[in-house]
Amino acid sequence: MGDLSTTSTLLKISNVRNSVGNGITKPHFAIINGNLCVIKGIDNPEKHIALFNEYCGYRLAEELGLSIPKFGFSLVDENTTFDNEEKRQYFKKGCLCFFTEYIEKTVPLRSTRQLQGAANSELIAILLFDLLICNKDRNPGNLLLRQLKLQNLIIYPIDYTHAFQLQVLWEQGQLKHYTEEPKTPIVLEDISDQRIHHSIEESKTFSQEDIEICVKHFKNKLESVDIRNIIEGMPDVLLTKVSSCDIDDFVKFIEMRICELDSIQSYLTKRIAGGV
């Protein structure tokens, strides 16, 4: 299974700090290799699929060249300290965690005006990626903006816990409803009808050529991506919690979505193309 098959290969969490907001997956700040990170444990209320989704979402974003923080898996061990001992209930000894390195000097999206400094290609890529992976959970807390002096605006789409169809409830053969005939249709409007998407759409004038270039880039990058190989890069302690049949269905679902990029392009063009 995963190439991180033993806990000895995982990064160790040296310190667990305070919680990050009120997220249902109980994210917390932590120190890993001297760096401030955000962690989510495998025993969070939404269990192992939250970590599975996170890793797959970030790996696909990485393949496509989206701006993302450093990410991976880490482990709570006997040397992990806690600023608040009550936090041990979420991160017991041996707890596998998914982490992302904290990005300094970022702000959440609060107004359309903040996006004026972003490249059209970057904004379209975020819309297209969410449509591709059926991410209905894009919100101001998981779209971070960073603009350093004399540099272009960088947008970090983060948090893929609730990406993919059915979010954390796609196990036990549920994805078959979307991959086998008669297929339950995926309604793209349900994904686009998010406040963040509306803000992006209203921030710029996008041309049909802008969208075509972005879709071509996605196709070129995804053509050589092996979804099963991405999944097998997870630690065995996570993979063993997901049945082989469900993994097969997930792979088939992502491959199906990639094959539907042309129809997603047509939808996005009709929705946002307004320039030459």
Q: Where are the domains of the chain?
A: 7-101, 107-275
pTM exceeds 0.85, yes or no: yes
- Confidence at residue 186, expressed as pLDDT on a 0 to 100 scale: 97
| CB 177, CB 253: distance < 8 Å | no
- Lookup result for tokens 């209905």: 136
- Confidence at residue 274, expressed as pLDDT on a 0 to 100 scale: 78
Provide the 8-state DSSP code for 87: G
Nearest to 136 by CA among 175, 174, 189: 189
| Paired tokens of 43 | 């025993």
Domain 7-101 has CATH 1.10.287: no
For residue 237, the SS3 value is: helix
- Lookup result for tokens 């047509």: 266
CATH number for region 107-275: 1.10.1070
> What distance separates the 2 farthest-apart alpha carbons in the chain?
60
Instruction: Give exposure, 146-166, as e/b (b: 16+ Cβ within 10 Å).
Output: bbeeeeeebbbbbbbbbbbbe
- Confidence at residue 9, expressed as pLDDT on a 0 to 100 scale: 76
> At 133, which helix (H) or strand (E)?
helix 120-133
Return the C-alpha torsion angle 156, 161, 163, 164, nearest 10: 140
- Confidence at residue 8, expressed as pLDDT on a 0 to 100 scale: 53
Q: How far apart are CA 104 and CA 111, in angstroms?
A: 20
| Paired tokens of 104 | 């300094």
* Positions of the chain with pLDDT lower than 50, given as ranges: 1-6
